[in-house]
Amino acid sequence: MAAMTQLDLSERSAGRAAQLADAGANHKLGRKRDLTRDPAILDAALEVLAETGYDGMTIDMVAARAKAGKATLYRRWPSKAELVFDAIACMKQGEIDFAQLPDTGTLRGDLVAMIKPPSIKDGEKKLRIMAGLVSMLAKHPDLAEAANTAIVEPRAKVNRLLMRRAMERGEISPDCDIETLALVTPSMVSYRVLILRKPINREYLISLIDSVILPACGLAQTRT
């Protein structure tokens, strides 16, 4: 096979994510596969990915981080590319619980209530992971889609929901372009972290809400 410096998922196998469903079916003799190693390895892959990026990441680094043998990784994934793909696809950390979103009665209250230190920290880690993948997204739509689903879409979804609710109760005009406005914060936060290399903190997020989002929704700035 030719050079594979970059990811090649053109003929991907089922993927670990899909295989998580079928548990047993292996009734021979001897020892079963240790299923507890999978998440440890995938977590290690995400950590290394965040620290070094895809190209800087080596299989040995991931194996060492997970205290696993390199052969163990290759017994489970056919290549580095597939390992990374599954690591992204299986990323469930920091998932937002849509059942208990804030409901303060005002859009500003809801948006501000979404700002929590653990959420910020989780977001920054996800963006560092994304930074290591950006250069590959162009050539691998599969990966781009998985990264979107796991990293960026959840945040946008929350904003869309909170804004739609504000629109339904008449707080903001029905002319507001929710689709676009829901991406303002994710976009500007990504830009700030990935390109400007500046930190994300509560002050910055609040300034985005008060200087951009709310005014764009036709709400006057009501700072405390």
96 touches 158 (CB < 8 A):
yes
Q: What is the DSSP letter of 79?
A: S
Select from a second copy, DNA, none the partner in contact with residue 70, using the beta carbon and a kind-dependent cut-off of 5 to 8 Å.
DNA
- By CB under 7 A, residue 164 contacts DNA: no
Per DSSP, 99 falls in state G
The contact pattern for a second copy, residues 39-58, with x = CB under 8 A and - = no contact, is -------------xxxxx--
Number of residues in contact with a second copy, rule: CB under 8 A?
A: 47
* Of residues 167, 162, 183, the one with CA closest to residue 114: 162
Alpha-carbon torsion angle 224, 187, 193, 60, nearest 10:
140
Interface segment toward DNA; rule CB under 7 A; list 70-78, 93-101, 128-136, 179-187: 70-78
Report the partner that residue 132 touches, choosing among a second copy, DNA, none (CB closer than 5 to 8 A by kind): a second copy
Q: Which of 99, 162, 152, 149 is nearest to 123 (CA)?
A: 152
Which one, of 31, 6, 29, 44, lies nearest residue 129 by Cα? Answer: 44
Q: Considering the rule CB under 8 A, would residue 123 count as an interface residue with a second copy?
A: no
Q: Is 175 in the site for a second copy (CB under 8 A)?
A: yes
Q: Which of 69, 105, 109, 141 binds a second copy (CB under 8 A)?
A: 141
Piece of 23-31, 98-106, 153-161, 215-223 that binds DNA (CB under 7 A): 23-31
- Only one residue has tokens 């899909």, namely 18
Tell me how far apart the alpha carbons of residues 61 and 57 are, in angstroms, rounded to a whole number: 7
Residues 12, 15: Cα–Cα separation, whole Å: 7
Please report, as ranges, the residues that interact with DNA according to CB under 7 A: 2-5, 26-34, 37, 56-60, 63-64, 66-72, 74-76, 78-81
Please report, as ranges, the residues that interact with a second copy according to CB under 8 A: 5-6, 52-56, 128, 130-132, 134-138, 141, 144, 147-148, 152, 175-177, 180-181, 183-184, 186-188, 190-192, 194-197, 207-208, 211-212, 215-218, 221
